[in-house]
Amino acid sequence: MNLTALQQMAARGEKIAVLTCYDASFAALCEAAGVDVLLVGDSLGMVLQGGSDTLGVTMRDMEYHTRTTATGAKNSYIVADLPYGSDTTPETALENARVLIAAGAHMVKLEGDKVAVVQLLVKNGIPVCAHLGFTPQYVHELGGYKVQGRDEAGARKIMEDAVALDQAGAAMVVLEMMPAALAKQITEKVGMMTIGIGAGPDCDGQVLVLHDMLGIYLGKSPRFVRNFMEGASSIQEAVQHYVAAVKSDAFPTTEHSF
């Protein structure tokens, strides 16, 4: 799997199945189950480290988990998060992005409207995935885990940011916890691939946190999560069911959308 193949999938309307992944064993399992993209997410701060948010995750954490994930998945496309505080300037972001690429990532993901950061990374040959809507690294600024873009001003800001990041060269964007109608409008407007999580069924692909979709995270399950272990005889079968549901547009439904 590579960036060109993913872009071709989106162009022909084939949904892209994405899951978070943090280690070699799950990486090999997800790859065998047909997952298109593995996201080494800073969500590991919650599902692996037990934190209440992602803000304590370090570059050392991200480098380690990116390297172990890449070891287990030889043919998957791997996206790695730039953690909190690692992309405060374009130059800092470039330095840290290079660390994640060296560890085995093919693309880095960053949160918010960091247009100048995206421009510098792309100029230096590093593919970028943006992240808009609810952005976990801004949880305190946003006042908690809340759906974004429900009012006219909020929706306009997200759309403007999406267009700006697209023009800056981002190849992909995660759209999290926003009205399905807004995510659809963004998908139709921009050239970069859109990956939804709590953003309705009309994005180019979908992502869930692995531990959420397996029902093994002890925190509160968000509305947009479905437990794919229900009715599955193994973890690999559950992941296969997730991939099939994304590919066939059976997931997400209105039940999982805002």
Residue 230 is among the residues annotated as catalytic for this protein: no
Q: Which of 176, 188, 237, 255 is catalytic?
A: 176
In one letter, which amino acid is 124? Answer: N
Question: What is the chain written as a DSSP string?
Answer: --HHHHHHHHHTTPPEEEEE--SHHHHHHHHHTT-SEEEE-TTHHHHTT--SSSTT--HHHHHHHHHHHHHH-SSSEEEEEPPTTS-SSHHHHHHHHHHHHHTT-SEEE--S--HHHHHHHHHTT--EEEEEES-GGGTTTTTSS-----SHHHHHHHHHHHHHHHHHT-SEEEEES--HHHHHHHHHH-SSEEEEESS-S-SSEEEE-HHHHTT---SPPPTT---TTTT-SSHHHHHHHHHHHHHTT-SS-GGG--
With the CA atoms of 148, 151, 152 and 158 taken in that order, what torsion angle do they form, in degrees rounded to the nearest 10?
0
Active site residues: 176
